[in-house]
Each structure stands twice: as structure tokens, then as C-alpha cells.
Chain A
Amino acid sequence: MKAGIVVFPGTNRERDMAIALRVVTGREPVMIWHAETDLPDLDLVVLPGGFSYGDYLRCGAMAAHAPIMAPIRRFAEAGGHILGVCNGFQILTEAGLLPGALLRNGALRFLSQDCHLRVERSDTPFTRRWNAGDVFRAPLAHGDGNYIADDATIRDLEDSGRIAFRYARPDGRVDEGDRQTNPNGSVKAIAGVLSANLRICGMMPHPEDLVDPLMGGEDGKPLFEGLVEALVR
């Protein structure tokens, strides 16, 4: 699997993402500078976490208009696979490649803690290593992860099975109103969503930071292993 990681000014989790991709693919991902106007030949484009352009406007709003986003749109239209994590998810929603938006956390504070995610479906390149209903742990670290969309969009996402992950208790129970379980207050406890063709996934927590037992576990590894399985040519 040939993976590329997009680096915007202010991106700061590109190294974490590179480590995770290296662990599962055994090869070095390509770093792609935001000012590029072409993508190299890739199986997967990753928009990693950080504070692109300082997030001084809405998170991800500036990056969504960076030169690199034009070839990324073309890549998406051609059926390419894209993973956006944290700021990457925010950028994907700002770019209109995924529905919804991410508001300031409900508690109005930056949150850095482990959360548990319930896998909502297993038949996607991002989730195929899990079964639907499986729960895994992932660190989250963001100030604006409170997912929101209008009722019709949420209904559509639910009806078409485009919710990838929800915040849950370790036993898999989802409780939207519970701040322990759904720390940023996301509507329907949504932590990650998919595009209509199931080839673009955005999520707030960081599976890439949990791929090594030394760092506390390998809970995030199946996501990357699944991508390798699905995308290896």
C-alpha cells in the first residue's frame, strides 16, 4: 500500500501517522507539502492531526482551500481512499468531502484523554479488521471535536450506514448525554463518518497513537492493517 501524508503549515501529527503506517506497511509513507498541485501515485491519502494555519479561523477552514486540496478532490472523485484524523477530519468536512461539522467541545475545553470507540460496521476498508459492535480504545486530543449536522443529514448517515465509529463505554454502550462516554458532546456520539462510497473516512480520535504495546496498546492497529489488506495491489 502506497500511502501519502499531507502536511499543512501547523500539522503536527504527521510523524505519529508515519509511524503507524510504517508499522503496518513496512515502508515509508510519502510526505506531501500543502503547496503541491499534484499527488503522486498513491493508494491512500492521509490528512493527519494538528492545527493547520493555527486553526485561527474555523478548524480546517484555511487548509480546505490549500493548493493540494484540488488534486485530493480529483483523487476522491476517482474513487481514491482518504483517511482524515482530527484536524484532517475537520478539513474534510470544511472541504465538503464529508458531511457535517465539528464544533467546540461541549465543555469548552481542550480534551486529551483515552476514549472508547464502537465500530458501527465492518464492511469498509477502514473497519474490516473489526466486527460491527467491537470496541477499541484510542487517545483523543482536540478542542473542536463536537460533531454536528442537520437532522436530515444525520438521518441519512444513519440510514445509509455511514457512521463509522461512535463514542461508547468499554462495554459498547452508547450514551450520548454522558460526558464520560461522549466527551466532546457529539450528536449521536458520532466519532467518525464515511463518504457515500465508503472510501473516505474522517474521525476525531487518534488510532495512530495506539499501535505499539509500549505506548499503551495496539488498539488502533487494526484500522491500518485493514487498509493494507484492502488496498494492497
Chain B
Amino acid sequence: MSSATGQKPVDEALAREFGLTAEEYGNVLSIMGRAPSLTELGIFSVMWSEHCSYKSSRVWLRTLPTTAPWVIHGPGENAGVVDIGQGLAAIFKMESHNHPSFIEPYQGAATGVGGILRDVFTMGARPVANLNALRFGSPENPQTRRIVDGVVRGIGGYGNCVGVPTVGGEINFHPAYDGNPLVNAMTVGIARQDRIFLSAAAGIGNPVVYVGSKTGRDGIHGATMSSSEFDEDALAKRPTVQVGDPFVEKLLIEACLELMATDAIVAIQDMGAAGLTSSSVEMAGKGGVGIDLDLDAVPQRERGMTAYEMMLSESQERMLIVVHPDRTELARAIFEKWELDFAIIGHLTDTGHIVVRHQGRVEADIPLDPLADQAPLYRRPTAPSPAPAPLGPITDPVGIEQALVRLIGCPDLASRAWVWNQYDSTVGGQTVKRPGAADAAIVKVEGTSLGLALTTDCTPRYCRADARQGGAQAVAEAWRNIVATGARPLAVTDNLNFGSPEKPEVMGQFVAAIEGMGEACRALDFPVVSGNVSLYNETRAPDGSSVSILPTPAIGGLGVLDDVNRAIGLAMPAEGTLVLVGATRGELGQSLWLREIHGREDGAPPTIDLAAERRNGDFVRQQIEAGRVLACHDVSDGGILVALAEMAMVGEAGCILSAPQSGMRPEAFWFGEDQSRYVVAVRDAEAFTLAASSAGVETRVLGQVGGDGLTLPSGATISKARMKAVNSAFFPALMDD
């Protein structure tokens, strides 16, 4: 792109090629008072891309609740920061790397992990856990296997090497992701509350330091690529995908944390999307200062790079730091010890401009205020989605036993062990509940009694049927998964993956999902402290039409346990009584049972009563805190019977079930996906149910722990061995392993 565009005139046609509209280019001209240089046009185009400017989503994101007494920094910083007690903070965020992961699955996913790690340690936190939320196309699609293989290897390849345990995540398969998988990566770190680093630059004259890897030509215009739909030539865009080096990232983490233990840093930010451009513009802009950059000083991997290429490169593992001038040599020594590049590439000014010099020429000179303030902001047209028709009467063609076996073997419920077993989940020595052991992963905070409960959740098929309900459900499920371990839910990060915002029906889904999320966040005191929006997740169908993904507002939830020893898992204990918490109406609309047994994806998704959600969850958590619960599992995909099967498969025993609720078809009771429910194993069921009723919480005894499998009320037993065999077959078969 470089040499070719270098010769083209900078005009509206080139601006369009860079993703700017005619109107946006008109604004550039009026801000500059002249035609921009190529480098200037590049800076405007990436800063005003959907990816960096959130131009279609900003007006709606502002409606989300972002505050609580325990929130230290909400959206606007590199990651969200919450108070977890004992003077410590959890710093976390989730971010997408969807487009690169389709083009080049290994590097796309790997650099997704690398990018989100930097967002967290740039604030002063040691990363302690990674999670992810993945969506792949249909297992029958021949591309799916290649993408699953590359994404899983990429996540593992990066996370394992940097030595941050990957402790949780979720995976769905659906044909709507065939040409546009979703790779959402989340990192959680721990910092002292009095050692949190922000990105606002300060101190006229202070040096601007570049550290990390050298700059190459990779990833140029990655942010722009992520802000448009894929076409048939998607795979030709490989050069826009960055290449990750987790070894350098590991060194960068250690070097930055070592520097952060000193008083050298004024401000620090990673070079993520739009690289040197966005980091320098944002740091200077936030601090209300100007910045001069001398690109001759930038460590370069290749010869002959132009200013345009350096400013737009998305080479990985780089950070920009404003340091106190008298600490420059101290900082240099630390980075030299870690054998990383360290270069003073500029200084802060009082001009309010970013000025970029290269080989004796001024390549860019842009006023920062209008670059930020006059960034495009769109309230795009929305169209409501039609309300789903309620599910009519439905029969059970296969019976309970057969249905259960089919469900636990289906792609969305099959064991993920094949995936988890490629991620190092124990490095760091603090992983209390590994993947699959509890509804949320539990990671101890080293040197304290605290534990973090971490989860990622979303049910895209609910969101497609009713984006508002689906948005609320995603938040509620994350909250529930944290509660089910005994932890206190604190806050979420969101990763909003949608189709093209230029389609009114997609914008309608987006707005409705945010409304639902906001309602749930408010009702559950579970604010959004960081997040990321990924739009234009569309693929071209063979007939030329553009197909949107299912609306997928993935939620990353974080909770805290004051005493991590109190965390509980979902494994069936050796003995006890199984009690269902929460009311059951037998909602089969959009259920996995309906999809897997009837091949239908219709009906309304389960309703959420947020007051009941709160009541049930608060009750369950209090009972866990009081030590009255042996195991707990939320009821979600597949309903009660799937939840029980999951508990039995990892547990010491099976269970013997009583008759289902009367006045309801058995399949509706066992496989309905009614929300706000938990299955708990307790020693004293009488005391538990009594306490529940005085708390206004509905419960129902499901049966007794015992036997070696699931013994249905009919007397039929599905053995644990059979369940495990069915449950573990899908991934190895798909991947031919």
C-alpha cells in the first residue's frame, strides 16, 4: 500500500479509500485549512475510524451505568479499575480481534490476547488471568475447523508463553459466524490502588519514550480494516494483520512493572490499534498538551519506512511513556536490562498540536482538540426487530433420556476440555477453580485471602430473538455465574459485537441490547467499567448480499471473595440433597432443546425478572457464605437436566431425581431455560428451603445425590461413563484429533 499510495494525490478519493466519507473529509479540510498530507490523512482516517472513534456507538454507550462506590476508573481509561479491598484493585477489560482472526486465525487471536494484556499492565497491574469468548461458524462449514484450530493455538501460544493463566471462556457455534468468527479476549490484573498509572500526558518538555519491539510495516490500517465489512477479498488483507511475539510481551510486562515500581512515569499507554498515532494523540489530548515526535528516532525493523507507515503501523508489543526528565536514564537502564528497545522519540509541547517530523521534514501538524472534539458522531437510524412469535404447542418426539444425551453431545454443550487443555490454566500458582470446575473461574490474589471470580457470558440466539432481553440476560448470566461460586459480583467489561451499523435493523439490535444491559446492570449493581465495540461483523453471501452475525454483546464479569477458601464449585458432592432455586415455567422458546431436538430456532427467549434475579442470587450467595451449600451450578443452556448432568460428570456421585413439577410437560421442566435459577447441593434441605421461603425465594427439591449417573424419575439411569463419552466426543471428532 505504501509506495502506491505515496504517489497518489491526497484528495477525497484517497480519503474514501482510507474509509472516510465525503463529509468527514470536508471536516478534515476545514480543520486543517488546507489539503492534508498523506500522513495527516492517515492519522485522521484511523482516529476517525469506527474502531478508534466509536462514532456509531458513543451516543448509546453513554447510557450505560458506569459508577458504583467500588469503581475507581470506569470507561475512558485503558481498562476498568475496581476496588477489591485490602488496598488492591482489579483492572480488567475485554476486547475483540474478530476481523484479524478470520483472515489469519493464529496471529489474529494471539495478538488479540497480547493487545488486551497491554491494556491492563499499562495501568500498573500484573496480569493474573486471561479469559475469552469465542464464536465460530457451523461445525459443518469446512472453514470452521481451520479457524478453531488457529484461534485456539493462537490464544494458547500467546497466553502460555507470557505466563498468564487462561482460566475461562465460552464457545458457541452458529452458521451466522461462518465468515466472521468472534474472538473476544479478556485480561484481569491486580495493582495496588495507590500505584495505578493513567494515560494523560503532563509536563511541557517532558520526554516521550518509545519502548518494546521495533516498528515494522505490519498492521498498517488494521483499525480501518476492522471498521468495514469483509468482501470476497478478505483473505487478501492478510498484510493488515499483525504478528505477535509473546516473548517480547513477557519482557515488556516485567520491564514495565519494574519501571512502575519507581517514580519515573508521568503517563503510559500501549500502542494498540492505530499504533503510534492513537497512543500519542490520546495521551497528549487527554493531558491537554501538544506533542512533537521525531520519527528518525523510532526503532525500525525495516529500512525506508515512511512517516505514514510508522504512524499507522500496528506492530505489536510497543508502549509509549512520558517520563520525568531526570528519570530517563533510570528508565533506560531497566529496558536495557530486559533487552528491549528504548528511544526518546519526542517531547510534550504547549502548542496543542501533534507535530510529526521525519528526515528534516514536517510530515504532519494537526491541532489535537478538533481532531478529538470534531470526531464524527452518528446517531444512525434504527429499525425495531419484529417481536418473536410465541412458541405454539410442541411435542416431545424423543423422550427425556434421548434428549439429554443429544443435548450434552451438541456443539454448544459438549465438553470444552479439548480447548482448555491447550491453555496453561495453572501458571502463577493461584488458580483455585480451573476451567469447568465452577461457574466462574476462581483465582486467588497472591499474598492475600482474596479471590477473584471471573466469567464471560452471552447467549446470542436470545439476542437475535429479542436483543433487549438478550442484553439483560447476558449481564444476568455473568452475575449469576459469579454468585454461584459464592463471590460478590462487582463490575463488568463488555464486548459488543454486531453487524453493520449502517443497517437500521442492526442499529436497532445494538440500541436494544444496550438498553437491556443497562437495565440489568442497574438492577444488579453491576456497572460497566470498560469495553469495546466491534461493528461491521458481516460476511458476503454467495448471492452478494451481506449477512450480519447474531448480535453478541459478550459480558466479562468480575466478582470478589473476601475469603477465597469459601469458594465453591459445581462438582456433585458425595452426598446431599439437590434443590432448585428460582421459579420454573418451562420456557422452551429459543432453547437448545428446541434447536437440537426439533431443529427450530424460534419463539421468545426466556423472560428475565431482574428483581427475582437479584433476590435469588443474593439468597444463594448468603447461603454459600454461611457454608450451607456444597456445590452450586446456575441453570442456563439446556435447562435443569443438563445442569445436573454437568455436575455429575465432574463430580463424585450422580443423582436420583424426583418427579418433575406437576402441571407442566416434563421436557419443559427438564429442558426449559427459565432464567434466574440455580441447582444447589445442600446437606440440610429443610433448613435451606425454609430460609429461602422466608427470603421470598422459590425452591424445589429435585432429588438426592447418589448413584453413578442420572437416575430419572422413570427409574432409567444414564451412567456417568456414557454421559462423559457423549459429552467429550464433539471436539476431537471435529478436529480429527
Residues in chain A within 8 A of chain B (CB atoms): 9-10, 12-13, 15-16, 19-20, 49-51, 53-56, 107, 109-113, 139, 141, 143, 206, 208-209, 212, 214-216
Cα distance A20–B428 in the bound complex, in angstroms? 11
Q: Which of B247, B338, B564, B737 contacts A107 (CB 8 A)?
A: B737
Q: Which 4 A-B pairs have the closest CB atoms?
A: A12-B163, A54-B247, A16-B429, A141-B424
Cα distance A59–B641 in the bound complex, in angstroms? 46
| Residue among B248, B427, B429 with the highest chain A CB neighbour number at 10 A | B429
Q: Which residues of B contact A110 (CB under 8 A)?
A: 153, 156-157, 160, 422-424
Q: A54-B161, A112-B420, A214-B565 are in contact. Are A12 and B338 (CB under 8 A)?
A: no
Q: Which residues of A contact B430 (CB under 8 A)?
A: 215
Cα distance A15–B422 in the bound complex, in angstroms? 21
Is B428 in contact with A16, judged by CB distance below 8 angstroms? yes
5 pairs, A vs B, C-beta closer than 8 Å: A9-B250, A9-B251, A51-B160, A141-B160, A206-B426
Is A16 in contact with B427, judged by CB distance below 8 angstroms? yes
Q: At the interface, yes or no: B727 with Cβ under 8 Å from chain A? A: no
Is B247 in contact with A51, judged by CB distance below 8 angstroms? yes
Is A10 in contact with B161, judged by CB distance below 8 angstroms? yes
Q: Which residue of A lies closest to B432 (CB)?
A: A214
Cα distance A212–B426 in the bound complex, in angstroms? 13
Q: Which of A50, A55, A113, A215 contacts B429 (CB 8 A)?
A: A215
Cα distance A206–B424 in the bound complex, in angstroms? 12
Query: Within the complex, what minimum Cβ distance (angstroms) separates B707 from chain A?
Result: 22
Q: At the interface, yes or no: B339 with Cβ under 8 Å from chain A? A: yes
Q: Which residues of B contact A12 (CB under 8 A)?
A: 161-163, 250, 427
Q: A16-B427, A51-B161, A51-B247 are in contact. Are A214 and B422 (CB under 8 A)?
A: no
A-B contacts at CB below 8 angstroms, number: 92
Q: Which residue of B lies closest to A19 (CB)?
A: B429
Residues in chain B within 8 A of chain A (CB atoms): 153, 156-157, 160-163, 245-248, 250-251, 338-339, 420-432, 434, 444, 446, 564-565, 737
Is B247 in contact with A113, judged by CB distance below 8 angstroms? no
Q: Which residues of B contact A214 (CB under 8 A)?
A: 432, 444, 564-565
Is A10 in contact with B251, judged by CB distance below 8 angstroms? yes
Q: Which residues of A contact B251 (CB under 8 A)?
A: 9-10
Query: Within the complex, what minimum Cβ distance (angstroms) separates B721 from chain A?
Result: 14
Cα distance A125–B431 in the bound complex, in angstroms? 28
Cα distance A216–B443 in the bound complex, in angstroms? 12
Query: Within the complex, what minimum Cβ distance (angstroms) separates B650 from chain A?
Result: 13
| Residue among A10, A19, A53, A212 with the highest chain B CB neighbour number at 10 A | A10
Q: Known pairs A9-B247, A112-B423, A208-B429; list 7 more (Cβ under 8 Å).
A: A12-B427, A16-B428, A19-B429, A56-B247, A110-B157, A112-B421, A215-B429
Q: A10-B161, A214-B565 are in contact. Are A112 and B425 (CB under 8 A)?
A: yes
Q: Which residues of B contact A111 (CB under 8 A)?
A: 421-422
Q: Which residue of B lies closest to A206 (CB)?
A: B426
Cα distance A150–B507 in the bound complex, in angstroms? 64
Q: A141-B160, A214-B444 are in contact. Are A209 and B247 (CB under 8 A)?
A: no
Is A15 in contact with B429, judged by CB distance below 8 angstroms? yes
Query: Within the complex, what minimum Cβ distance (angstroms) separates A11 from chain B?
Result: 8
Query: Within the complex, what minimum Cβ distance (angstroms) separates A18 from chain B?
Result: 9
Q: Which residue of B lies closest to A210 (CB)?
A: B426
Q: Which of A53, A109, A141 contacts B427 (CB 8 A)?
A: A141
Interface of A is mostly: mixed
Q: Which residues of A contact B422 (CB under 8 A)?
A: 109-112
Cα distance A107–B732 in the bound complex, in angstroms? 12
Q: Which residues of A contact B432 (CB under 8 A)?
A: 214-216
Cα distance A164–B431 in the bound complex, in angstroms? 27
Q: A13-B163, A113-B421 are in contact. Are A139 and B426 (CB under 8 A)?
A: yes
Q: Which residues of A contact B428 (CB under 8 A)?
A: 15-16
Cα distance A10–B427 in the bound complex, in angstroms? 13
Is B426 in contact with A54, judged by CB distance below 8 angstroms? no
Cα distance A151–B246 in the bound complex, in angstroms? 36
Q: Which residue of A lies closest to B152 (CB)?
A: A109
Q: Which residue of B lies closest to A33 (CB)?
A: B337
Q: Which residues of B contact A16 (CB under 8 A)?
A: 426-429
Is B427 in contact with A13, judged by CB distance below 8 angstroms? yes
Q: Which residues of A contact B247 (CB under 8 A)?
A: 9-10, 51, 53-56
Cα distance A68–B340 in the bound complex, in angstroms? 20
Q: Which residues of A contact B427 (CB under 8 A)?
A: 12-13, 16, 49, 141, 209
Query: Within the complex, what minimum Cβ distance (angstroms) separates B417 from chain A?
Result: 8
Q: Which of A9, A51, A112, A216 contacts B339 (CB 8 A)?
A: A9
Cα distance A53–B153 in the bound complex, in angstroms? 19
Cα distance A72–B428 in the bound complex, in angstroms? 25
Is B246 in contact with A54, judged by CB distance below 8 angstroms? yes
Q: Which residues of B contact A55 (CB under 8 A)?
A: 161, 247
Cα distance A110–B628 in the bound complex, in angstroms? 39
Is B162 in contact with A209, judged by CB distance below 8 angstroms? no
Cα distance A141–B430 in the bound complex, in angstroms? 15
Q: Which residues of B contact A53 (CB under 8 A)?
A: 247
Is B429 in contact with A51, judged by CB distance below 8 angstroms? no
Cα distance A176–B426 in the bound complex, in angstroms? 25
Query: Within the complex, what minimum Cβ distance (angstroms) separates A221 from chain B?
Result: 13
Query: Within the complex, what minimum Cβ distance (angstroms) separates A223 from chain B?
Result: 15
| Residue among A10, A112, A206, A209 with the highest chain B CB neighbour number at 10 A | A112
Is A141 in contact with B426, judged by CB distance below 8 angstroms? yes
Q: Which residue of A lies closest to B434 (CB)?
A: A216
Q: Which residues of A contact B565 (CB under 8 A)?
A: 214
Q: Which residues of A contact B248 (CB under 8 A)?
A: 54
Cα distance A50–B428 in the bound complex, in angstroms? 11
Is A209 in contact with B426, judged by CB distance below 8 angstroms? yes
Q: Which residue of B lies closest to A7 (CB)?
A: B254
Cα distance A50–B157 in the bound complex, in angstroms? 12
Cα distance A100–B425 in the bound complex, in angstroms? 28
Query: Within the complex, what minimum Cβ distance (angstroms) separates A65 from chain B?
Result: 15
Query: Within the complex, what minimum Cβ distance (angstroms) separates A116 from chain B?
Result: 15
Is A215 in contact with B431, judged by CB distance below 8 angstroms? yes
Query: Within the complex, what minimum Cβ distance (angstroms) separates B442 from chain A?
Result: 9
Query: Within the complex, what minimum Cβ distance (angstroms) separates A212 from chain B?
Result: 8
Q: A107-B737, A215-B432 are in contact. Are A51 and B246 (CB under 8 A)?
A: yes
Q: Which residue of A lies closest to B429 (CB)?
A: A16
Cα distance A216–B429 in the bound complex, in angstroms? 11
| Residue among A20, A53, A141 with the highest chain B CB neighbour number at 10 A | A141
Query: Within the complex, what minimum Cβ distance (angstroms) separates B152 from chain A?
Result: 9
| Residue among A13, A16, A110, A208 with the highest chain B CB neighbour number at 10 A | A110
